[in-house]
């Protein structure tokens, strides 16, 4: 795989080529990745995959006009054609008064922070196979499991580099390890499926495959003999593995581009109470070994921990340079860049902070409600905040989780849901977006 130094040099080279061809400004991002994954089913090897990729994305500016192109061909002729194509496209593009590189004065200077994202190791296909078999075997050993969709294990490593024509160059490497299992319980039309997985930067931080597999088996068996639930307004409790999607909707609503276009249900919410007073949400790109950690953003700006919500009050938009200019604000270090196209925005390691009540106490106060463990579909309107998704989970009766229920819909409006949201104290940092168990009162539940 390409080294960080080589990736940075290639990104700088293509920027210099663009400037020599007449670009007023340019930036380039280079991303390389290698990955190996092994899948098994019913105790037998099913597939071994190995992939290696490298993509170079170039963005050029000619006055107020810009264009973005990308390639995976790094030959001299191909790079020359890439620059020529980008320049030709930029000269024909419409003017955009907000587009441009990040403000030079705000660029990250000096060494990038070290975040310990790369364990530097590789894992053989044989070791991955053993790990996948261990996960599936543990899942199939759970009484009530009758079939398997398989187990898998993976390892990957990537290098990212960014260079700009006004003086930034930086790069970093990151590794990833994962294990998953998916099994079925029951038989015939009463069969139920569930899964478990875990991902980590370092192999040493990965859950044991047997634990992951056992978790998958227990989840599948727990869903057997599911019933329907009557329709009505009732409390809905979100399991952490699905509750994090609520923060995903928040991120979409506070993205600078959505605010600038006027297409967000939180358009006028900055500095106002969006959640209850006990809700705090933090974004930390500098978490060591974090799944979404990064030493700089997609435009070369420094990143730092930031409160998105404090005491229920929305503190900031997520701004790249273009949306910041349009709104008359400063970029927030949330720019995200792919190989082609202009930067967008993304959060990093996001966490809804734990509340003051235990999970058991949160559920214990509910006479009748539902505990949601799976969400289906994407019936969410980012402009109005209207929310409607298929779900399955468990009935809550007299303060205890009871029988499994399926084929129902939960609905509400995200503004109302955010204000009614109550977090428990059981936050565990496992994903890129993390939440504890959360309660949302007064949602509409409709039987399918």
Identify whether residues 239 and 297 lie together within a single domain: yes
Identify whether residues 139 and 165 lie together within a single domain: yes
Q: Is 319 left (phi over 0), alpha (psi -120 to 50) or beta?
A: beta
CA angle 96, 102, 107 (to 5 degrees): 175
- As to burial, measured by CB atoms within 10 angstroms (0-12 exposed, 13-18 middle, 19+ buried), residue 144 is middle
Identify whether residues 15 and 159 lie together within a single domain: yes
Identify whether residues 199 and 71 lie together within a single domain: yes
Positions in the chain short of pLDDT 50 = none
Identify whether residues 322 and 289 lie together within a single domain: yes
Identify whether residues 143 and 265 lie together within a single domain: no
Greatest Cα pair distance, the chain, in angstroms, is: 72
Q: From CA 158, how far away is CA 339, in angstroms rounded?
A: 14
Identify whether residues 280 and 395 lie together within a single domain: yes
CB atoms within 10 A of CB 53: 12
CATH of the domain at 176: 3.30.2290.10
At 339 the pLDDT is 79
Identify whether residues 38 and 67 lie together within a single domain: yes
Task: Classify 321 as helix, strand or coil.
Answer: helix
Q: From CA 406, how far away is CA 186, in angstroms rounded?
A: 15
Give the residue from 221, 246, 276 where a domain finishes: 221
At 338 the pLDDT is 84
Q: Report yes or no: 316 and 270 within 8 Å, Cβ to Cβ.
A: yes
Identify whether residues 234 and 194 lie together within a single domain: no
Q: Is 109 left (phi over 0), alpha (psi -120 to 50) or beta?
A: beta
Q: Name the domain count of the chain.
A: 2
At 353 the pLDDT is 98
At 223 the pLDDT is 96
At 190 the pLDDT is 86
At 51 the pLDDT is 95
At 188 the pLDDT is 87
* Residue 404 CB partners (closer than 8 Å, separation 6+): 192, 222, 223, 224, 225, 226, 227, 392, 393, 394, 395
Q: From CA 344, how far away is CA 323, in angstroms rounded?
A: 9
* 301: nearest Cα among 108, 431, 446, 131: 108
Q: From CA 313, how far away is CA 377, in angstroms rounded?
A: 29
Identify whether residues 151 and 249 lie together within a single domain: no
Task: Classify 312 as helix, strand or coil.
Answer: coil
Helix or strand (DSSP H, E) at 5: helix 4-20
Identify whether residues 282 and 217 lie together within a single domain: no
Q: Which domain range does residue 83 map to?
A: 4-221
Give the residue from 221, 242, 270 where a domain finishes: 221
Identify whether residues 197 and 341 lie together within a single domain: no
* Residue 430 CB partners (closer than 8 Å, separation 6+): 198, 240
Q: From CA 283, how far away is CA 123, in angstroms rounded?
A: 31
């Amino acid at each position: 795989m390409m080294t960080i130094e080589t990736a940075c040099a290639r990104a700088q080279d293509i920027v210099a080529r663009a400037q020599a061809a007449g670009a007023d400004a340019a930036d380039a991002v280079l991303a390389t990745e290698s990955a190996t994954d092994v899948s098994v089913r019913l105790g037998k090897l099913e597939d071994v995959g190995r992939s290696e990729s490298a993509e170079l994305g170039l963005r050029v500016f000619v006055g107020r006009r810009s264009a973005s192109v990308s390639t995976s061909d790094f030959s001299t002729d191909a790079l020359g054609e890439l620059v020529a194509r980008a320049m030709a496209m930029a000269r024909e593009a419409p003017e955009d008064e907000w587009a441009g590189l990040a403000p030079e004065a705000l660029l990250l200077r000096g060494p990038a922070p070290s975040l310990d994202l790369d364990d530097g190791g590789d894992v053989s296909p044989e070791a991955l196979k053993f790990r996948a078999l261990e996960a599936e075997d543990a899942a199939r050993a759970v009484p009530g499991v009758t079939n398997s969709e398989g187990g898998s294990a993976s390892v990957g490593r990537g290098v990212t580099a960014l260079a700009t024509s006004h003086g930034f160059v930086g790069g970093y490497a990151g590794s990833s390890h994962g294990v998953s299992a998916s099994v079925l319980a029951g038989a015939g039309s009463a069969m139920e499926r569930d899964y478990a997985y875990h991902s980590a930067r370092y192999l040493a931080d990965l859950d044991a495959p047997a634990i992951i597999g056992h978790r998958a088996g227990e989840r599948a068996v727990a869903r057997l003999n599911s019933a329907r639930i009557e329709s009505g307004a009732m409390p809905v409790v979100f399991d952490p593995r699905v509750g994090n999607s609520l923060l995903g909707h928040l991120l979409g609503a506070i993205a600078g581009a959505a605010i600038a276009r006027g297409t967000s249900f939180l358009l006028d919410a900055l500095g106002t109470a969006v959640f209850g007073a006990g809700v705090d949400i933090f974004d930390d790109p500098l978490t060591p070994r974090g799944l979404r950690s990064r030493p700089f953003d997609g435009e070369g700006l420094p990143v730092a921990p930031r409160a998105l919500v404090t005491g229920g009050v929305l503190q900031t938009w997520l701004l790249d340079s273009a949306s910041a200019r349009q709104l008359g604000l400063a970029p927030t270090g949330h720019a995200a860049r792919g190989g082609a196209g202009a930067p967008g925005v993304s959060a990093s390691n996001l966490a809804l902070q734990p509340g003051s009540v235990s999970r058991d106490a949160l559920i214990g106060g509910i006479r009748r409600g539902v505990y949601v463990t799976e969400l289906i579909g994407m019936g969410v309107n980012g402009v109005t905040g209207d929310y409607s998704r298929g779900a399955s989970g468990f009935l809550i009766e007299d303060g205890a989780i009871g029988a499994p229920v399926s084929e129902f819909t939960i609905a509400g409006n995200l503004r109302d849901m955010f204000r009614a949201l109550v977090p428990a104290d059981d936050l565990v940092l496992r994903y890129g977006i993390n939440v504890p168990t959360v309660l949302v009162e007064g949602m509409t539940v409709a039987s399918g």
